């Protein structure tokens, strides 16, 4: 039986998504249907598909409501291949823009909105650049897997960073190396994480720190989506990794340049440990109807 979806296309620094509203949790798309929607040749096209569903109407939302009963909305996010992802830093900002622009939620300046995700509740605020989301506690994932990427001559050690979803960050020596990497091919990790990982390749600016802000440039291959123009959680992981490598005295505020633009990353202390936040633009581009 076919279903007609009214969808919206949005992006955050070029990381693009197909969004649709299903408040009561009545639309159950298969991974194949989601992949067809995300297909850039035969579908709408996007790095992921996001369903806006009220937390009480999705099994994964029970944990979100138990954590924060204000998390009315759940971001049901799938990668472009139809696989489930825990979290998406650019996607949650676009999700918030979608809720507000469609009258599904309100957020006054200075207020905070709780949104349910599979990696827990995330708090979001408006700011001058668009929206800022608290990605929560982060952790070093341990180990230094060797990373091989097409057109990079030798394997490089990566640093595992978890910001609600798994990342491996690789430092490169120059912009030329970064530009030469062919991320249309999946980077090979040794050992390979059980659930895979997003892989970021990063080059520090020269100088690294200007006016108390760290500056880096990054490209990313996202698990289940391929190379994308931006990855919000990946930008946070890259900034955390470079700060870790830089050592004592490294800043807690970072500007991360991705192919699709620039996002901001900030680390800050909380009662339950250090959190990391992501800020940047969120745009809605067009809408339409699609039969799936």
Catalytic sites, residue numbers: 88, 231
Name the residue among 199, 201, 189, 197 with its Cα closest to residue 258.
Answer: 201
- Beta bridge pairs of residue 23: none
Any idea what DSSP says for residue 57?
G
Look at residue 14 and give its three-state secondary structure: coil
Burial of 218 (0-12, 13-18, 19+ CB in 10 A): buried
Name the residue among 212, 214, 206, 209 with its Cα closest to residue 254.
Answer: 214
Exposure of 105 in the CB half-sphere (CA atoms within 13 A): 25
Name the residue among 186, 287, 166 with its Cα closest to residue 237.
Answer: 166
Structure tokens belonging to residue 193: 């994480």
Look at residue 49 and give its three-state secondary structure: strand
Q: Residue for token digits 């990391």?
A: 276
């Amino acid at each position: 039986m076919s279903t007609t979806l009214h969808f919206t296309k949005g992006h955050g620094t070029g990381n693009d998504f197909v969004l649709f509203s299903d408040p009561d949790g009545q639309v159950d798309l298969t991974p194949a249907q989601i992949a067809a929607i995300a297909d850039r040749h035969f579908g709408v096209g996007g790095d992921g598909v996001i369903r806006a569903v009220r937390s009480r109407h999705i099994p994964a939302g029970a944990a979100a409501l138990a954590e924060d009963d204000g998390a009315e909305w759940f971001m049901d996010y799938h990668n472009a291949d139809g696989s489930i992802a825990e979290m998406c830093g650019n996607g949650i900002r676009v999700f918030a823009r979608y809720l507000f622009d469609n009258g599904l939620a309100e957020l006054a300046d200075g207020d905070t909105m709780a949104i349910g995700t599979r990696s827990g509740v995330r708090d979001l605020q408006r700011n001058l650049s668009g929206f800022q989301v608290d990605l929560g506690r982060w952790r070093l994932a341990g180990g230094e897997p060797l990373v091989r990427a097409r057109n990079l001559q030798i394997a490089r050690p990566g640093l595992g960073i978890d910001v609600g979803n798994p990342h491996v960050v690789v430092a490169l020596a120059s912009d030329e190396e970064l530009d030469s990497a062919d991320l249309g091919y999946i980077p090979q990790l040794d050992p390979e994480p059980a659930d895979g990982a997003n892989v970021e390749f990063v080059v520090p600016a020269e100088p690294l720190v200007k006016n108390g802000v760290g500056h880096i440039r990054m490209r990313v291959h996202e698990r289940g989506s391929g190379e994308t123009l931006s990855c919000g959680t990946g930008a946070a992981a890259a900034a955390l990794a470079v700060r870790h490598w830089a050592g004592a005295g490294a800043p807690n505020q970072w500007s991360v340049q991705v192919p699709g633009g620039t996002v901001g990353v900030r680390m800050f202390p909380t009662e339950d440990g250090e959190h990391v936040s992501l800020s940047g633009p969120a745009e809605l581009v067009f809408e339409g109807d699609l039969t799936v």
